[in-house]
Amino acid sequence: IYGRCKMEMVDIRDGSLRVVILNGSASREFVKVRRYERHIVKNLSNSEKCELLVIASEEYDENDPDTFKEK
């Protein structure tokens, strides 16, 4: 992730919204996403680019606060 980004997750069924702020200094952050969500990423910093690599995986550790974030 380069630059601070805001990730908005909108449930396409009921319109509910979840927001997660991604820190540009982090080498990686894991965000638990749910089915039926549309994801919008917005750049919050003055950096020229806000890159996000998304990997779909069932392998995460909910008990490890350094690698898992749910908002």
pTM of the model: 0.52
- What is the extent of the structural domain holding 1? 1-71
- Per-residue model confidence as pLDDT tens digits over 25-65: 655 666 777 777 787 777 777 665 555 555 555 555 667 65
3-state secondary structure of 42: strand
Residue 71: pLDDT above 50? no
- The domain tally of the chain equals 1
Look at residue 62 in the predicted model and tell me its pLDDT: 64
